[in-house]
Amino acid sequence: MIPAPRLKLAGITKRFGDLVANDDITLELRAGEVLALLGENGAGKSTLVSILFGHYVADGGTVEVDGRVLPPGQPKSALAAGIGMVHQHFTLADNLSVLDNVMLGTEPLWRPSSRRRAARAALLATAARFGLGVDPDARVGDLSVGERQRVEILKALTRGARILILDEPTAVLTPQESLSLFATLKQLVAQGMAIVFISHKLDEVMAVSDRIVVLRAGKLVATQATEQADKDQLAEAMVGRAVPPVARERGLDVDLAAPAARIVCALHRAGVRGAGRNPALVDVSLQLRAGEVLAIAGVAGNGQRALADLLCGLLALDSGTLEVLGRSLPARPRSWIDAGVARIPEDRQAVGSIGELTLWENAVLERYHSRRFSRWGLLRSARARDHARRLVEQYDVRGAGRDGLDAPARTLSGGNLQKLILGRALSGVRYRDQGPQLIIAHQPTWGLDVGAVADLQRRLLDACARGAGVLLISEDLDEILTLADRIAVMSRGRLSAARPREAWRLADLGAAMAGLPGAAASAAAPVDTHHAA
């Protein structure tokens, strides 16, 4: 007899204004089963599980746990029904301890005194049972990303979750840590847990799940048992159309051009102290030439932010040297902009643009003080709008609505905003037709749908073909393998030697990302196979 499904979603629909995030979705989950929710960014996976957990109220449909309908919009009822969620962006308080974070909400609020000792014992017992080691008294802000995820999982387990939802859990883990997570999941499943695993990575989904459900543009488009699943079919279901893969044309043969290709960016034994106990960057060396793409791979939190800030002019070196386009620049963004460095920041809404300002103001935000856009302190808004108009056309920035250039930047979708930022970076006044000589791109395609990703990557490659050197910092290995000429790996603040893409095997990359010995460790002198003659 087939056991009744532990979880059942029937006809879930959710709209945000005009956008239909979930369209009549129905699915089931059984005990002891891992169900993968597969879909690209924006397909509606996070929305669906947020509804399941009670963060959102669905516009239509019901959620049933063990045959009983859950009252919508209350995380309390979801928790009581045994649903636990490990969020993509951890819901932890950095200033408090692990024990505090886990204990929250587990005791009735009116109890006059917390029973901390019992809670601590329970936490350690649960941690031991599933192999998730933690220190209950550690301050969460001091933990590594992998450790914080463990705390998130423990939060759910200590509340007796019987259905566990994991939202893109491997986004922040090294390949080895991911394997460790999968092992934990297998243990949980063996003990009767039902798991919903959200991901956009096909390989992982094939490795860990029993059944796969594919979402696309809010609709459920495919359901398959993993054993019978075909990767290509699933990929097509995810995307819905054939997207021509971005081909890395080796137009510029870097070897032959070596004597002529100048070094546009050179770091030698750079060190940055950073805020926490550990230094942010240690002994980092790299050389980037015009016309090549050098990718920095690595899992989040290993120093990429410090490296990006350093190379965007936001941070100063504590040791070592940095030369950009042949000279050293002070840690003032304006100097970098004036020197002609194109920078694409990681966070397009908090750092890359100002939501309240209009499109055209954002378009000239880096160069409003130049003679072209201002005179005697007055803005030459006609010229600025002209420039913005050309940028919007050239980079296909859409979605401004009736106000056009005067619409506030926050009305743009992620993809269009990124196109605007890219356009701004690549078409600074200085370059005219030539284009920038150095492009720093930090996670440029994060959170974009496949079409936008391909478009952006193509534009980066075009700029490269016109002679720019591109430093790409990315956590997406697929992107790195698509775009890079050479790859270096960042781990714990150190940078490995940069080797040509062909020289890396996936296992080596994973090992380097995890900082394991045996991978090409950071060398004292920069190892560069393209030495000047």
Partner 1 sequence: MFTGPGRAMSVDTLDLLAGMPFWVAVLRIATPLILGTLGVLLCERAGVLNLGIEGIMVAGAFAGWLTVYQGGGLWTGVLVAALTGAAFGLLHGWLTVSLALSQHVSGLGITLLASSLASYAYRVSFPKVESPPTIRPFADMSAWLPLPILNQQTALTLLALLLVPALGWLLYRTPLGLALRMVGENPDAVEGQGLSVAGLRIGAVVAGSALMGVAGAFLTLAAFDAFYFNMVNGRGWVCVALVVFASWRPGKALLGALLFAFFDALQLRLQQAGAGLVGIDVPYQVYLMLPYAMAIVALVVVARRAAYPQGLMKPWRKGER
Partner 2 sequence: MRLEARAQTPAWMWLAAPALALAFTLALSALLVAWAGAPVGRAYALLLEGGFGSRFAWAETLTRATPLILTGLAVAVAFRARLFNIGGEGQLYAGALAAVAVGGLHGGSAFAVPTGVLFVAMMLAACAAGALLLLVPALLKSHLGVDEVVTTLLLNFIVLLLVSAMLDGPMKDPAAMGWPQSVAIADALQLDKLLPKSRVHTGLVIALVMAALLSVLLRQTTFGLEIRAVGANARAAAFAGLPVRAVIWKVALLSGALAGLAGAVEVAGRAGYVTLDMSPGYGYSGIVIAMLAALNPLGVVVAAVFVAGMLVGADSMSRAVTVPTYIADVIVAVSLIAMLVATMLAQYRVRWR
- Report which residue type is found at 312: C
**Are 358 and 366 within 8 A, CB to CB?**
no
Q: Is 160 in the site for partner 2 (CB under 8 A)?
A: no
Q: For the CB of residue 141, give the shortest distance to partner 2 in the complex, in Å.
A: 18
**Closer Cβ to partner 2, 381 or 413, answer by number:** 381
Q: Which of 527, 530, 433, 471 is nearest to 336 (CA)?
A: 471
- Residue indicated by tokens 């051009």: 257
Q: Is 379 in the site for partner 2 (CB under 8 A)?
A: yes
Distance from C-alpha of 217 to C-alpha of 172, rounded to nearest angstrom:
25
Q: Which of 18, 67, 68, 109 binds partner 1 (CB under 8 A)?
A: 109
What is the residue-wise DSSP string for 449-471?
-HHHHHHHHHHHHHHHHTT-EEE
Q: Is 96 in the site for partner 1 (CB under 8 A)?
A: yes
For residue 307, what is the enclosing H or E element? helix 304-311
Q: For the CB of residue 247, give the shortest distance to partner 1 in the complex, in Å.
A: 37
Q: Is 147 in the site for partner 1 (CB under 8 A)?
A: no
Q: What are phi and psi of 474, to 5 degrees?
A: -150, 150
- Return the one option of partner 1, partner 2, none that residue 126 interacts with (CB less than 5 to 8 A, by type): none
3-class DSSP assignment, residue 98: helix
**Closer Cβ to partner 2, 101 or 362, answer by number:** 362
Query: CB-based burial of residue 369 (10 Å sphere; 0-12 exposed, 13-18 middle, 19+ buried)?
Result: middle
Distance from C-alpha of 202 to C-alpha of 231, rounded to nearest angstrom:
7
Q: Is 337 in the site for partner 2 (CB under 8 A)?
A: yes
Q: Which of 108, 245, 251, 517 binds partner 1 (CB under 8 A)?
A: 108
**Cβ-proximal residues to 16 (8 Å cutoff; 6+ apart), any chain:** none
Q: For the CB of residue 114, give the shortest distance to partner 1 in the complex, in Å.
A: 5
Q: Which of residues 204-243 bind partner 2 (CB under 8 A)?
A: none
- Per-position x/- string for 11-30, each x denoting binding to partner 2 as judged by CB under 8 A, each - no binding: ------xx------------
Q: For the CB of residue 220, give the shortest distance to partner 1 in the complex, in Å.
A: 22
Binding segment toward partner 2, per CB under 8 A, in 151-159, 170-178, 315-323, 347-355: 347-355
Distance (Å) of CA 233 to CA 213, 230, 239:
12, 5, 10
**Are 162 and 194 within 8 A, CB to CB?**
yes
Q: Is 111 in the site for partner 1 (CB under 8 A)?
A: yes
Binding-site ranges for partner 1 (CB under 8 A): 50, 53-56, 74-80, 85, 87, 89, 91-96, 100-101, 103-114, 155
Binding-site ranges for partner 2 (CB under 8 A): 17-18, 57, 73, 312, 314, 332-334, 336-337, 343, 345, 350-357, 361, 365-366, 368-369, 374, 377-379, 381
